Amino acid sequence: MLPYTQPQDASGHLIDDVYPLSDYANCRVLASGTAEDLLVPAGANFCTLTADGTFYFNMNGTAAKPTGDITDGSSSRIGNASGTSLVVEAGENISVVADATRIVTATFWSE
């Protein structure tokens, strides 16, 4: 697994909106309303979730699209289709769900 190396421009400034090359990616093709799990592989420390539309994720339980107020800290988070970056540990589970057929990709890097 390739390490996460922040891309830089010609002047050495960090580029925030470009992801480095990765050699490890998994995906889930989600049926509408059906949560699926993405297991963080051995050696991974960073993950970026991308999708072809709106999705929700949860690392502490099964992802669900909220239908009302959730005030106990257990809510799923809405993912940014163009990239939601996470610090992860091997063996963790990332649950993902969408309210339409959706492809969610998880790209992983080591330190």
pLDDT in tens, 54-79: 999 999 999 999 999 999 999 999 99
Question: Does residue 6 fall inside a structural domain?
Answer: no
pTM for the whole thing? 0.86
Q: Does the residue 9 lie in any domain?
A: no
Give the model's confidence band at 8: pLDDT under 50 very low, under 70 low, under 90 confident, else very high: confident
Give pLDDT, residue 35.
98
The answer to whether residue 100 sits within a structural domain is yes
Please indicate, yes or no, if residue 94 is contained in any of the structural domains. Answer: yes
Q: Identify the domain containing residue 100 by its residue range.
A: 25-67+74-109
Number of independent structural domains in the chain: 1
Structural domain includes residue 7: no
For residue 5, the model assigns a pLDDT of: 77
pLDDT of 10 higher than 80: yes
Q: Which residue in 24, 52, 17 sits closest to 38, CA to CA?
A: 24
CATH number of the domain encompassing residue 94? 2.60.120.10
Domain contains 92: yes
pLDDT at 12 (0 to 100): 86
